[in-house]
Amino acid sequence: MLGRVVGANFYHIYSYSTTVCSIIFNAVLIRFLLNTRGQNVGPYRWLLLSFSVVDVCISLVHSIMIPAAHLTEFGMICFEYRFVNQPTAIGFWGSLTFVFLFYQTFILLAFHYVYRFVVLCNPSWLSVMQKHPWRNWILLAVGTDLIYSGLICIAVNAGFAPTEKSRQAYAPVMKEVYDIDQFAENMPGYLAVAYFVRLFSRPTRNDAMNRFHCKVEEWQLAAFLSVGSAGSIIFAPVAVIFYCTRRIMKDMRATARIDHKTHATTAISSVVVADGNSNLHILHSSSVCAYNATRAPISAGRSWHDRPHVDATLPHDPPHSHHVLLARLMVLLYLVFFFVEYSNAIHDPEQFMCPLRVINYYGYPAERHEAVTEDGYIITLFRIPRGKEFNTASNTTKRSPVLFQHGLLSSSWDAVSNLPNRALGFVLADAGFDVWMTNSRGNIYSPNHVNLTSADEAYWKFSWYEMAQYDIPAAVNKVLDETGSDKLYLIGHSQGTLVSFAAAVLNRDLKEKVAHFYALAPLITAQNLRGFWLNTFVFFRDVIEAVFKSSNDAISSMPILHPICGHVPIFFASCDFFISDFTGPSTQVNQTRVPVFTAKFPAGTSKRNLIHWGQMTTMYGTRPFDEGMEGNLDKYGTNLLSILPRSSIIAAHNLTDFNHSDFVWGQRARREIYDRIIAHMRKLESVKE
């Protein structure tokens, strides 16, 4: 994070400093756990040892193996970087090793909370584990890792692994991009600090053990950090770590004093339970824990219930126990690990830019244009007039215009959010075409109207039907007027295909202005849409429509996915799972670009548009918005909504392993889609000449 402020060089120094500190601190912890004092920790000892060893391995791999692979002839680790297309064998195994170790820590942390939440609240489970400790603990660990290893192999093959080299270098635009107020982004981190202070400043009562065992405040905190503060904790963990360290050192001193009193008391107390292994168990009536000491038995096995009354100096409940101490230590380790990972996460600068700046950022010329529709909406178009190799002031070669129409809740961002060798807009420009990208009415780049504002209810009374009727003709006419061409090529994705199909039906002269239309992931009806959220929408359609109609007519353009998908790589899988429920499973999305893909999503639309899509799930064919009996008579002149005739489809190409978003985000989209479109357009160009 500091690298975002002071530059890439300091970031690397800071990153390696934290790595070295991590190795040193873990080495100290390992030494403590292996000496005599560490043996009193109990089962937690093996958990902490595992965590520390894995963390040291991660630090070594991150600081030595990954840079070595990038600085040698072996090239990339796992993901494609810039224009590198294929991973190498050593890259695959290096990535597999790193990812396995990386997520092993989370398995250990999960096991820690399961252990506290289940075993410590159910002492019988602990007794089962203690009967054959080596066998039971090893079997549990091996079984967990076998399942976990399979999941990691699948994840690596799918291209999901954290690595800084798979992202873009951002030094040239540091000040321009990150010169923003960070207070709002820091707020969840400040809340986390306040929560820690409240948690660790509570006075410890006699029922401390039961309170910490069964209420498990640390579990609430971990959930809060994982969900609420996922990508927003910046400098807050520093304060948390220092505060926790101070508390832990205080607990360790208090625990040492308690241990001293405990050992002194055992010399005079006959209230003990001895087993055959010469283990002395000093029990407390209000606690589920047991202190173990390797001493010779003092009594002949007298039970706890028939014990005589002894006036001993043993405290009834220690104010600070090993379990409380270790719980705080685990939370501290979690935060250290999380903070280092967040510091290592490089934020692609494109996610903070608009399409115009992204185009310039990659060295292409960019222009912004506006078109006014017949009903007064002002449509914004972004233009890439030529490719990078043709980017000279003297280059006046006339190029055929290509117009891209985006999908539902999207914008022209879809055409430029991928890497230059993958993004549709850049690929078309480099192929020699004049690229234009529309932004439908109501999204973040087309919020204006001649007479209305976005605060007016009348502004939001539109759906895809009005986009087809007015937006597409206005955009086509604007492109032809600016370029002086007679015809253009039209490319649509998702809702953009439906809008374009309907525009050809509603505007007969449009066919004379479009040389050819290419439909990516075409939609003509919504009857066959599937998915948990879509099925829920269909099932409760009437209720959702009623709620929509009773509230504001706008669908927010706030990028709600970006806080989850746009910061820490460990949350990319959750983001991908959420997106795939709408778009289908994907095996070809570069996970490190997900923060950029989702930076401007959703881009905004009207609730009326979503209601129209909801109506289409139960409509036969493609019909206009259903206004009700009276509304249909007023608007369409008939109560029976007519079915829009389908435009003629010359050829259809079926693709394998493509979901709905892969047509604009997929790594194979250029090879299997864009190159074929370009080849077909060049063929049409040669015939025209």
Residues 71 and 146 in one domain: yes
Instruction: Concatenate the DSSP letters of all residues of 3-50 into one string.
Output: HHHH-HHHHHHHHHHHHHHHHHHHHHHHHHHHSTGGGGGTTHHHHHHH
Q: Amino acid identity of 196?
A: F
Over residues 517-536, the mean pLDDT reads 77
pLDDT tens digit string along 107-120? 555 555 555 555 55
Residues 156 and 305 in one domain: no
Residues 28 and 145 in one domain: yes
**For the CA atoms of the chain, what is the radius of gyration?**
32
Residues 542 and 642 in one domain: yes
Q: Amino acid identity of 174?
A: M
Which residue, of 162, 179, 196, is where some domain finishes? 179
> What three-state secondary structure class fits 434?
strand
pLDDT tens digit string along 43-90? 556 666 766 676 677 667 666 655 555 444 443 333 333 333 344 555
Residues 126 and 167 in one domain: yes
Rounded to an integer, what is the distance from CA 675 to the centroid of its chain?
30
Say how many CA atoms lie within 13 Å of 333 toward its Cβ. 26
Which residue, of 125, 157, 179, is where some domain finishes? 179
Residues 435 and 533 in one domain: yes
- DSSP H/E element including 403: strand 401-405
Q: Which residues contact 263 (CB under 8 A, 6 or more apart)?
A: 293
* Count of the separate structural domains present in the chain: 3
Q: Which residue has the higher pLDDT, 428 or 554?
A: 428
Residues 475 and 582 in one domain: yes
Residue 368 — pLDDT band, cuts 50, 70, 90? very high
Residue 238 — pLDDT band, cuts 50, 70, 90? very low
User: What are phi and psi for residue 78, nearest 5 degrees?
Assistant: -135, -40
Residues 174 and 188 in one domain: no
**Region of residue 278 (left: phi > 0; alpha: psi -120 to 50; beta: else):** left
Residues 150 and 54 in one domain: yes
Q: Which residues contact 669 (CB under 8 A, 6 or more apart)?
A: 422, 424, 658, 662, 663
Apex CA 647: angle with CA 646 and CA 653, to 5°?
100
Is the pLDDT reported for residue 679 higher than 50? yes
User: What are phi and psi for residue 40, nearest 5 degrees?
Assistant: -80, -5
Output the pLDDT for position 320.
Answer: 42
Which pairing describes strands 514-520 and 488-493: parallel, antiparallel, or unpaired?
parallel
pLDDT tens digit string along 571-628? 555 676 677 767 877 778 877 788 888 888 888 898 889 888 888 887 777 889 988 8
Between CA 480 and CA 513 the distance in angstroms is 8
pLDDT tens digit string along 159-201? 433 333 333 332 232 223 223 233 333 344 444 444 444 444 4
Residues 437 and 582 in one domain: yes
Q: In degrees to the nearest 10, what's the CA dihedral of 339, 343, 349, 352?
A: 20
Which residue, of 179, 202, 230, is where some domain finishes? 179
Q: Which residue has the higher pLDDT, 232 or 333?
A: 333
Residues 619 and 679 in one domain: yes
Residue 394 — pLDDT band, cuts 50, 70, 90? low
The boundaries of the domain holding residue 326 are 182-346
Instruction: Concatenate the DSSP letters of all residues of 324-387 into one string.
Output: HHHHHHHHHHHHHHHHHHHHH-PPPGGGGS-HHHHHHHTT---EEEEEE-TTSEEEEEEEE-S-
Q: Is the pTM of the predicted complex or chain greater than 0.75?
A: no
Residues 193 and 104 in one domain: no
Q: What CATH code is carried by the domain that includes residue 558?
A: 3.40.50.1820
